[in-house]
Amino acid sequence: MNHHEKINYVEFPAKDIEATKAFFTKVFDWSFTDYGPEYTAFSNEGLDGGFYKSTLNASVARGSALVVFYSGDLEKTLAKVESADGKIVKPVFTFPGGRRFHFTDPSNNEFAVWSDVGMV
């Protein structure tokens, strides 16, 4: 695959890097590599990226891009987000491509999870 001029890495702000790492490990089974106290990276999670120490956060209401995860079992993923102290900011709704919900992580970054029509 040609990687020239393609998206291959994304970075998110994190008020609390340790809590954010714990959340993504618990919900999505991610692993992290720390690069000092102000940066941690993840890889092989569909897209590589990292979290940097910041008081800012990603929010659709303020114009941030929305990163959307796929789930074959939307309700199970929603329960995992809630059990890891994620906040559901937009409950499950239907749209032409399927169903989805939005949540925030411990650093208050907004993400979404979607599933195909007919998937539960």
pTM of this prediction? 0.93
Q: What is the mean pLDDT of residues 95-120?
A: 90
- CA-wise closest residue to 102 among 119, 88, 83: 88
In sequence order, what are the beta bridge partners of 101?
113
What pLDDT sits at residue 17?
98
Element (H, E) at 34: strand 33-34
Say which residue the tokens 């102290």 belong to.
85
Residue 46 CB: number of other CB atoms within 10 A?
10
Q: With 60 as the cut, is the pLDDT of residue 59 above it? A: yes
Radius of gyration of the chain, Cα coordinates, nearest whole angstrom: 15
pLDDT category at 2 given cuts 50, 70, 90 is confident
Residue 120 has pLDDT above 90, yes or no: no
